[in-house]
Chains A and B, each alone.
Chain A
Amino acid sequence: MNEIERLRRKLAREKAARKEAESILERKALELYEANQELIAVRDRQSLELKKRIAEIKSKERVYRNIVQNASDLIYTCDVQGNILYANNTMITQSGYSKEKLIGSNVRNYIPDKYKDKIHNFYRFQFEQKIESTYIEIPVLTANGETIWLGQTADLAIGNEATFNVLARDISDRKRVEKSLMISEEKYRSIIENMELGLLEVDREGMIVKAYPKFCKLTGYSNDELKGKDSVKVFLTEEAREKMRKVNDSRLNGESGVYELRIRRKDGTYCWVMISGAPYYNEKGQVAGSIGIHLDISLRKEMEEELIEAKKTAESSLIAKDTFLANISHEIRTPLNAIIGISELMLRSSLNDEQRNYLETIISSGDNLLQLINEILDLSKIQFGKLKLREESVDLLKIMEHIHRSFQVIGSQKGLKLDFEHDLEENQGYFLDGTRLKEVLFNLVGNAVKFTEKGSVGISVWRSRLHDDVDVISFTIKDTGIGIPEEDLEGIFGTFEQASNTHESGAKGTGLGLSITRGIIESMGGELQVSSKIGMGSTFSFAFPLRRTTLLKDESSGEIDQNDVSRLKGTRILVVEDAKVNRFLIRNIMEPWGVSMREAVNGAEAIEKIQEESFDIVLMDVRMPVLDGIQATKKIRTELNLSEIPIIALTANAIHGEKEKCFDAGMNDYLTKPYTQKDLLAKLLQYAGTKANNDNAAGHINLEGLNTLTQGNEDMKLRMVQLFIDETEKYIEQLHTAIAESDLERMQDIAHALKASVAHICSKEVLTSVRSVELDKVAQEEKIQAGKAMINLLEKSINELRVEFSF
């Protein structure tokens, strides 16, 4: 093969190879182009995507920036040296610094000096230790010089450069609250620690948790000694423990309470405490234990006990005084009674003028003394509220007229006019205590006259209807006297006080009068009022309601009715009285009356005598030695079984309840010492009738009275009997009419008219019947029945009279 061939073949090979390379090149170029295109497309896509993303991010960034800018928290970033790179709006406004001032400035500038290093070290530590997030509370100086507290969270961000991203909150308020809470806590702790009241904390089981200083001082223990101990065992006695358990139970139920306890000190002594206990709660709201505040009331308890003692003493001394008063009055009244009584007796004997004078003086003095004693007793009764009124049917107008007349005389002696004006009805009775009312009026009118030198004293009585049968009567006593100074107005009612004696009349009372008067008026349901002007005069007034009643027969005369006396003739009376003088008195009074009298010196003797003889009436003194009246009466009633015989008590009536005791023992009635002869006579008559009646039990007529009346004049007797029969028959007819018409008032009037004659001629039974028709307040039906019964009895009486006198 020649060389040219070889070269030609080599060339061909080269060419071919070159062509192949070119083709490869083209192919590669195309690949490249296409790859490039793809890349461009991708790039464009990505560019678009990027743009979109960037826009999104920008918008999100705007949102976040807004949030951050306006967050209520302070948000800022700074580099690790503390230079501020960014600060949000809140930071700007809260700090008071402008954005320009803040950005680039160092955080250190805004921190108070004494905190600078501490905070610097804190963040340096965070940076060095690469702690991701920390929290710290720091004070910061604002532009206007204030210090606010920030609670800031700092995140360490390590990017290209390390920065702190800080979120801070203004916690000044919380800090303030914390501080004031601390101060308050301190204050309360100090208060509790030093309280005068002892504080004790116990848990639910009563184990002591803490004892505060004053409590320790009170009980003598130290806090350590008490901690963990059972409060009940340490302080309480057995009795107190039960009480304590109950208290604890209520405490566990969440109730608070106050109670008193006696507790034992460390040294064994006791003291009284007032405990105010309340539960306290744990954070879950369950009762965790209780707190008790203890106040030492030992002193108070002592005082309480002393007071109770004093009260007991006072009360018993009051009772003693009461008893003493009663005894004293009895002791005084007895001889006084004798003085007055015997003097009165003496008056009956023949005396010369001089002797009579002396005697009358004695009597008058005795009366004064008696009155004084009565006033003293009245006063003490009033003071103890024990004044008892004896109410009966009284002619008020008559009383007023009597008083008017009495004082007219006295007044005219002084040149005073005594005026009396009223609107009372004639013969209208009122239910009241006439005696007491007279006392009151005598006192007031008497004072008026006493203290008036010239002018007049006016008495006015006005009535106004309250109900059907109740009137309100007002009394006024007006004088033109010297008057009462204003400062004395209250005092005049005090005991033993008198208005200042700057006047010339020298008039004064016993000093008891007004207070008693006021007391009596108050008991009657009124109130004594006074108005006065110096130099002008005084006006006393009072009023009370009074019940209207029909008047009883006028028994106001003080004389002894001889007719009555004769009815006592032959009555057998036993007088039981230990005082010789009193027996003497009674004897002298009753002997002229023709009674048959026996005496006993005490209850025992009385019982003996009763068993020996029979008596019609027993007059029994209450206070006697050996056996007193009450006991004796009881014996008579129960052991001797004598229930019929009337026993009349002779009492001083000073002690409340004595009357009741008498009645309880079985006595029928009582006479109050000192009693007048008239009183005695009336009482005896009341009970003498019983015996007389028993003799004439069968009949309806009793001629003893008639006999006595006519003194044996048969003619007169006959005429009287005839008169009685005629009159009575007429009345009986009228009664029939009245009954038919149911005219109760008419019936009462008839009975009233019959009463007197019936009393003289008919038996007690008839008299009782008549009296009941006249007086008894009963229903219509009953009244009519009574009227019919009365007619019956009257007719019987008339028949018997006819028989007796053969009419």
Chain B
Amino acid sequence: MKGVVFTEFMDMVETSFGEEQLDLLLEEADSDGVYTAVGTYPHSEMVNLVVVLSKQTGKPIGELLEFFGNYMFQSFTRLYPSFFKEATTSFDFLERVEDYIHVEVLKIYPEAELPRFQTHRISDKQLQMIYKSERSMGMLAVGLIRGCLQHYQETGDVIIEGESEDGSHVTFLVEIE
């Protein structure tokens, strides 16, 4: 997993739960906390951090992931503003994730492991997104999507239509008003 996820996660923990919480988290997770955005670290470490955080904060993992997803999206808008210039609606943007954004990402970080998305615009107000990833972080995806809606100032919701048992395949339905 790309280092940017870790650095953003730590920033989120710091801003949302305090510096102390961060220390605690790092200590219990047995992580040195040394993460650079350009680096690559084992996915299992992230999972571990989320699990420990969930235990320490008492918040469910899914909720934490969703919250993180939203937070990260906002970070992305600050870090990579070029990605957001051409898309004018959330649907536009979501449709571009697979074919454009992730492609650009791979250019710079060829070894990045990114989830696969398939989009079907059912109507003006409905978008189906199918998520495939071995890391099974579907809730993170939800958070990102919500973050996207928020960024484009659209009111709507995202629900999970279907999900495989191991969580590697998830079908989201995004509805806006």
A residues near B, CB below 8 A?
1, 3, 6, 9-10, 13, 16-18, 20-21, 24-25, 28
Contact = CB atoms under 8 A, between A and B. Distances in A.
A18 B36 contact: yes
A18 B23 CA distance: 19
A10 B34 contact: no
Given A1-B23, A6-B19, A6-B23, A13 B32 contact: yes
Given A21-B39, A24-B39, A16 B19 contact: no
Nearest to A14: B34
B84 interface: no
B23 A20 contact: no
Contact of A24 (B20, B23, B36): B36
B157 to A, nearest CB: 37
Question: Which 6 A-B pairs give the minimum distances between C-beta atoms?
Answer: A21-B36, A16-B34, A17-B36, A13-B33, A20-B36, A24-B38
A17 B34 contact: yes
A20 B34 contact: yes
A6 B14 CA distance: 12
Contacts of B39: 20-21, 24
Contacts of A25: 38
B152 interface: no
Interface string B1-43: 0000001000000000001100100000000111111110000
A11 to B, nearest CB: 11
B112 to A, nearest CB: 13
Given A1-B20, A1-B23, A6-B23, A21 B37 contact: yes
Nearest to B108: A28
Contacts of A1: 20, 23
Contacts of A16: 32, 34
A20 B37 CA distance: 10
A13 B35 CA distance: 8
Contact of B35 (A6, A9, A17): A17
B137 to A, nearest CB: 23
Contacts of B19: 3, 6, 10
A38 to B, nearest CB: 16
26 contacts: A1-B20, A3-B19, A6-B19, A6-B20, A6-B23, A9-B23, A9-B33, A10-B19, A13-B32, A13-B33, A13-B34, A16-B32, A16-B34, A17-B7, A17-B35, A17-B36, A18-B36, A20-B34, A20-B36, A20-B39, A21-B38, A21-B39, A24-B36, A24-B38, A24-B39, A25-B38
Contacts of B36: 17-18, 20-21, 24
A253 B38 CA distance: 103
A477 B36 CA distance: 166
A334 B85 CA distance: 166
A1 to B, nearest CB: 7
A44 to B, nearest CB: 25
A16 B33 CA distance: 9
Nearest to A17: B36
A25 B109 CA distance: 12
Nearest to B23: A6
Contacts of A24: 36, 38-39
Contacts of A20: 34, 36, 39
Given A13-B34, A17-B34, A21-B39, 10 more contacts: A1-B20, A3-B19, A6-B19, A13-B32, A13-B33, A18-B36, A20-B34, A21-B37, A24-B38, A24-B39
A5 to B, nearest CB: 9
A21 B33 CA distance: 14
Contacts of B23: 1, 6, 9
Contacts of B34: 13, 16-17, 20
Contacts of A18: 36
A10 B21 CA distance: 13
Contacts of B38: 21, 24-25, 28
Nearest to A27: B38
A97 B35 CA distance: 81
A778 B34 CA distance: 170
Nearest to B20: A6
A800 to B, nearest CB: 175
A678 B74 CA distance: 184
Contacts of A28: 38
A1 B20 CA distance: 9
Contacts of A17: 7, 34-36
Nearest to B18: A6
Contacts of B37: 21
A10 B35 CA distance: 11
A9 B32 CA distance: 10
A28 B37 CA distance: 14
A10 B25 CA distance: 13
Interface in B31-89: 32-39
Contacts of B33: 9, 13
A6 B20 CA distance: 8
A10 B32 CA distance: 10
Nearest to A5: B23
A16 B35 CA distance: 8
A1 B27 CA distance: 13
A32 to B, nearest CB: 11
B133 to A, nearest CB: 24
A21 B34 CA distance: 10
A21 B7 CA distance: 12
**Could you say which of B19, B33, B36 has the most chain A C-beta atoms within 10 Å of its C-beta?**
B36
